[in-house]
Amino acid sequence: MSQKHQTLGEFIIEHQSSFKYTSGELSRLINSIRLAAKVVNYEVNKAGLVDILGTAGETNIQGEHQQKLDVYANEKFIQTLVNRNIVCGIASEEEDDFIAINSNDQNHQNKYIVLMDPLDGSSNIDVNVSVGTIFSIYRRVTPVGTPVQQDDFLQKGREQVAAGYIIYGTSTMLVYTTGDGVNGFTLNPAIGTFYLSHPQMQFPESGTIYSVNEGNYSHFPQGIKNYIKYCQKEEGDRPYTSRYIGSLVSDFHRNMIKGGIYLYPTSSKNPNGKLRLLYECNPMAFIAEQAHGNASDGHTRILDITPTELHQRVPFICGSKNMVHKVEEFMSAAASS
């Protein structure tokens, strides 16, 4: 089929045979995410119209105040995956522990687990700025037909079979990879169909945008401070442009299209960084690498980190390959000086 006007549904069917495991289960799973994305999109879009804003009065495990749309998106994605009987386990940034599905049913043959950040950039909801959803998919490592265990969720990022994000922005897009490049689909809201709009997305090798919360500057490690000074220096194609939306999905998406780097380093406020390895860093790192970009904690490839707990945080530096390498150079120079 020609790529012109290809829908996400058609794309999934056409590419099903290129998955490593071709049971059709992964296709059904991505289809379910597509469906939940449309439901959440509808709600996000009307957030300004109805009295849905504000906090839900609950606090998640990281001590953050949840806003209503976080709760809503979390419920919708979980409900869709559970009702369609498509996965054996789910872990979410908004849940204290992982959810085992049909754990007492030995005939339960589902092999996949999903980890997600149901609403990323939630502090932007009140001010009509883009937010997103991030998802990450693995095959379970424990035997099919038994209850899922924590080990199924604590896999290295390089074991992911698929990952993606939805960006609820000026238009709504679903961007994902199954390990064979990155493709972006834009929602036509009039008919509720995602169309392939950005085939084979790639980070430019270098870029001129850096995205970091510079308010934390004085708390950053010396290597990061030196890199920020380097970005600001007048030389060659520098100074770079600073752009920080405060929603990882949106900053990442812009940087992938234009060329740039996103940094959430350690700081004295966040000694391990702020972003969560399993729900944010691993899926974005997988997408970045599939789009010829790079993702690092400053020293180590994100996808090689061994997770030790579900809600683990790591420093995250992600974007155009040459820019990420430059940060690593600054980090090791500062460490050895």
Site for ligand AHG in 271-290 (CB under 6 A): 274
Q: Decide whether 120 or 251 has the Cβ nearer to Mn ion.
A: 120
Segment near ligand AHG (CB under 6 A); pick from 149-157, 173-181, 235-243, 245-253: 245-253
Give least dist CB 11 to ligand AHG, A.
27
152 binds Mn ion (CB under 5 A): no
The CA distances from residue 327 to 8, 16, 163, 331, in Å, are: 36, 38, 25, 6
- Per-residue contact flags (x/-) with ligand AHG for residues 305 to 334, judged by CB under 6 A: ------------------------------
- Per-residue contact flags (x/-) with Mn ion for residues 108 to 127, judged by CB under 5 A: ---------x-xx-------
Give least dist CB 129 to ligand AHG, A.
11
- Per-residue contact flags (x/-) with Mn ion for residues 71 to 110, judged by CB under 5 A: ----------------------x-----------------
Give least dist CB 65 to ligand AHG, A.
10
Site for ligand AHG in 53-112 (CB under 6 A): 93
Give least dist CB 93 to Mn ion, A.
5
Give least dist CB 120 to ligand AHG, A.
4
Give least dist CB 153 to ligand AHG, A.
18
Q: Decide whether 147 or 246 has the Cβ nearer to ligand AHG.
A: 246
- Per-residue contact flags (x/-) with ligand AHG for residues 190 to 229, judged by CB under 6 A: -----------------------x----------------
Q: Decide whether 53 or 144 has the Cβ nearer to ligand AHG.
A: 53
Residue of the chain from 24, 179, 239, 246 that contacts ligand AHG (CB under 6 A): 246
Report the C-alpha gap between 293 and 285 in whole angstroms: 8
